[in-house]
Amino acid sequence: MDDPIRESGPHLAQLLTHAITGDGPLYRQLADGLKHAIDRGEIAQGTVLPPERALARSLAVSRSTVVAAYDRLKAEGWLDSRQGSGTWVLDPDEDAPTGVDAVATGRVFLTLRGDGHPTGGEQVSTDDDVIDLSVASLGGTGIIADAIAALQPEEIEALTAHHGYQPQGLRSLRDAVAARFTDTGLDTSADQLIVTTGAHQALSLVARQVLQAGDTVLVESPTFPGALDVFRRFAARAVPVPVDGDGLRTDMLADLVARTDPVMIYLTPHFHSPTGAIMPIARRRQLGEIAAETGIVVVEDLALADLAIDDVDLPPPVAAVAEGATVHTIGSTAKLFWAGLRIGWLRSPDSWAVRMLATKTVADLGSPLISQLIAVRLLERADEIRAQRRALLRPRRDLLCRLIEETLPGWQFVRPPGGLSVWATLPHGNADEFAEIALRHGVAVVPGPSLSVDEGNRRALRLVFSRPEPEIEEGMRRLAEAWESYSPLPTPQSSARLLV
């Protein structure tokens, strides 16, 4: 860009004055205002926008709001940025993502706000001044360093003497995972397993194999948001299935199947994401029967299975009790050890193993072997680490639950027996809006619509309790403060009291 036009914060603030007095989350209003200004030609293509802090000051909003608005417009192809060169306006007609990709691109932003970050650059939730209760992941401090230190030079030499192409994954890792599955009641051979780059890739591979554009997929509502991204990318139609305290409402399945003719169902039966519910064995059997009858492919994601907090007995995986059904079972090291390890696995029925391996091979010729070797070492210590995680998570969950009860009257939730998050329902209002206000108060949470088909669950939030207690305490204090500012009206309870 030679001689770029530079936009000042105060000038832009003038242009946007009317934009941010509308409805909805502030960052969206700001993003929409910018889009309209670009559309109307008030901001020319190539214009360099003011730094986030400057614009935030001019607009009297938090820097996080501007960051979120810029990020959204970058994800949608309206803006671009580069380290040292600032953020500038793109020609919206040039090379813009279209169709499925535009949807997926737009959506990824939402997911990433919840479960990851799109760049190594500025990130909403790692702003120094924001407490992050949005990312459902624990760090791997200590655990990973120990495992790397435990690698034996001889085993590294033995592995690296090989040319390094092992698309199915290390035999030793598959043996360990097969043994773990077998222990939980699901007979598994190493040949049925493919090592994947996290649970997310496992789901992507099955989707690639099973879904055609326009196919229907049944999905729990709410669910893991990355799954929704995958289904959108394959242009599948996701249909929500409600969950309750026992997970997926299998009593509604037969009717939904008859009405929507799905090819696949995706669920998280061990500590449902994000409610933490455990699906009882009877429901697993019922799902299995329906799947066996109709030929629907079942994908069960057990990524949270290792994060029991209370003394609970997990039933065997759906695959173990669904005779005659096609069930793919997904697991991961992300929640127990560390998400950055990016090692998960896919267990498929015998008859699918070859074609799933072909799909994996075409995708990337296999996941990194050293990370797999580290996973092998970690799985040897799984029981010990599980106990550590439990000791870590129990007081954090209890603290967060207590603070909801004490400081957020009227909020509904069920204390989860495991997992990383609490699913809370507001007594009134809109979760998207409130999450935006919470961000302005310095706490990041994920609103229900980001975890839901068709942006449902508009009154619910996911509150993650993976951060240390002091952060949870401060984050919840800010959340209560935000709620205070969001709810000047009496809550339904108090109005009920007034009426009595």
Q: Which of residues 327-356 bind a copy of itself (CB under 8 A)?
A: 334, 338-343, 349-355
Considering only residues 146-205, where is the footprint of a copy of itself by CB under 8 A? 148-149, 151, 153, 156-157, 159-171, 174, 189-191, 196-198, 200-201, 204
Tokens of 378: 């970690």
Q: Which stretch binds a copy of itself (CB under 8 A): 54-62, 237-245, 265-273, 360-368?
A: 360-368
127 sits near a copy of itself (criterion: CB under 8 A): no
Q: Judged by CB under 8 A, which stretch of 5-13, 41-49, 137-145, 483-491 contacts a copy of itself?
A: 137-145
For residue 80, give the H/E element and its range. Answer: strand 79-82
CB of 356 to a copy of itself, least distance (A): 10
Residue 112, CA atoms < 13 Å, CB-side half-sphere = 18
- In whole angstroms, the minimum distance from the beta carbon of 23 to a copy of itself comes to 27
Q: Rounded distance, CA 95 to CA 426, Å? A: 41
The set of residues, in sequence order, having a beta carbon less than 8 Å from that of 440 and lying 6+ positions away, is: 26, 61, 62, 64, 65, 482
Q: Nearest distance from residue 85's CB to a copy of itself, in Å? A: 8
Nearer to a copy of itself by C-beta: 14 or 119? 119
Strand partners, 217: 238, 264
Residue of the chain from 108, 133, 248, 451 that contacts a copy of itself (CB under 8 A): 108
Query: Is 151 or 399 the residue whose CB approaches a copy of itself more closely?
Result: 151
Is residue 358 within 8 A of residue 383, CB to CB? The reply is no
- Residue 242 CA to residue 236 CA, distance in Å, equals 19
Helix, strand, coil percentages for the chain (3-state, nearest 5):
50, 15, 35
Identify the helix (H) or strand (E) that includes residue 435.
Answer: helix 431-440
Q: Between residues 339 and 424, which has the closer beta carbon with respect to a copy of itself? A: 339
- Which listed range, 365-373, 400-408, 422-430, 482-490, lies at the site for a copy of itself (CB under 8 A)? 365-373
- Which of these segments, 225-233, 393-401, 431-439, 443-451, binds a copy of itself (CB under 8 A)? 225-233
> Nearer Cβ to a copy of itself, position 21 or 351?
351
The nearest distance, CB 286 to a copy of itself, in angstroms, is 24
Shortest Å, Cβ 481 to a copy of itself:
25
Tokens matching residue 344: 């998960």
Specify the 3-state DSSP secondary structure of 31: helix
- String of contacts with a copy of itself for each residue 23-62, x by CB under 8 A: ----------------------------------------
The CB-based long-range contact list for 103-109 (8 Å cut-off, 24+ gap) reads 103/232, 104/229, 104/232, 104/233, 105/75, 105/76, 105/77, 106/72, 106/75, 106/76, 107/228, 107/229, 107/232, 108/75, 108/229, 109/71, 109/72, 109/75
Number of residues that bind a copy of itself (CB under 8 A): 97
Verify binding: residue 133, a copy of itself, rule CB under 8 A: no
- Alpha carbons 267 and 261: distance in angstroms, whole number: 17
**Which range, of 75-83, 260-268, 454-462, 476-484, touches a copy of itself by CB under 8 A?**
75-83
| Residue 486 in tokens | 């969001």
Q: Does 365 bind a copy of itself (CB under 8 A)?
A: yes
Binding segment toward a copy of itself, per CB under 8 A, in 88-96, 314-322, 379-387, 452-460? 88-96
- For the four alpha carbons of 243, 248, 250 and 252, in that order, the dihedral sign comes to positive
The answer to whether 104 contacts a copy of itself (rule: CB under 8 A) is yes
Q: At what angle do helices 225-233 and 198-210 cross, to 10 degrees?
A: 30
